[in-house]
Amino acid sequence: MSATVEDLLKLLEEPDESPVSSLSDSKIKDFINEFKITSGVDRVDNSMLWYTYKKVYGGELSKIEFFRQFKKQFIQVRTGKKRSYMLDKRSFDYSREGLIEAEFFAKENK
Domain ranges for the chain: 39-110
Q: Give me the pLDDT at residue 23, please.
A: 67
pLDDT one-digit tens code per residue, 11-41: 667 655 555 556 667 889 999 999 999 999 9
Q: What is the Rg, in whole angstroms, of the alpha carbon atoms belonging to the chain? A: 18
**What residues are paired with 44 via a beta bridge?**
85
CA distance 107 to 23: 28
Element (H, E) at 87: strand 82-87
Q: Give me the pLDDT at residue 99, please.
A: 87
Enter the pTM of the model.
0.72
Q: What is the DSSP letter of 91?
A: G
Provide mean pLDDT across the span 47-69.
Answer: 91
CA distance 24 to 17: 12
Where is pLDDT greater, at 4 or 63?
Answer: 63
